[in-house]
Amino acid sequence: MTESFTVSTVIPASPLRVYEAWLDGREHGAFTGAKAEVEPGIGGSVIAWDGYIRGRTLELSEGRRILQAWRTTEFPTEAEDSLLEILLEDAPAGTRLVLRHTGIPDGQGKNYEQGWVDYYFEPMKRYFGPKRTARPTAAARKKPRKAAAKAPARKKPGRAKSARARSR
């Protein structure tokens, strides 16, 4: 027996951008935070999460669909590869990514279902989301002073100080 599930999310990037990043080992590793190797094209091997995931690309539809054979080191040796289908659709806030994972060994589906959310969807949202920079400190926000010598301070025009103020 095998298990299957479908999960989806919205990623703040275009479908083509998400598609290209998924199939690029450097970017795949960058958005997951773990080493990945992806050979481009149909038949290319896929290794992700430092070798925990292995597979190969079976079908591609540029910017729209990726179908991969997929397994982890937790699959029993006799288990066939599962199928991972990634569908990418335009959405108002970027790309709706629908992930269908079928043929998972019995008893493992719930772990992988949550794993896709925790180790792919959430990191992808951060990776593709708006780049935030650290707020400058108060000292960094001050305008730099000019290096030129300053002219001597002049008294502001106005009334003379009172006798009381002069005696201080």
> Domains along the chain?
2-128 (3.30.530.20)
Q: What is the pLDDT of residue 158?
A: 46
Q: How far is CA 129 from CA 18, 123, 160, in A?
A: 12, 10, 60
Map residue 84 onto helix, strand or coil.
strand
Q: Determine what percent of the chain is predicted with pLDDT higher than 90.
A: 70
Model confidence pTM above 0.85: no
Ordered DSSP codes for 120-163 = IIHHHHHHHSPPP-PPPPHHHHSPPPPSSPPPPP-PPSSPPPPH
Q: What is the pLDDT of residue 154?
A: 46
Mean pLDDT of 70-94: 95
pLDDT(26) > 70: yes
Q: Which residues contact 37 (CB under 8 A, 6 or more apart)?
A: 25, 45, 46, 47, 48
pLDDT(115) > 70: yes
Tokens matching residue 130: 């708006």
Cβ 93 vs Cβ 83: under 8 Å: no
pLDDT(155) > 50: no
Scanning the structure block, which residue is given the tokens 């690029």?
Answer: 24
pLDDT(12) > 80: yes
Helix 25-32 / helix 15-22 crossing angle, nearest 10 deg: 100
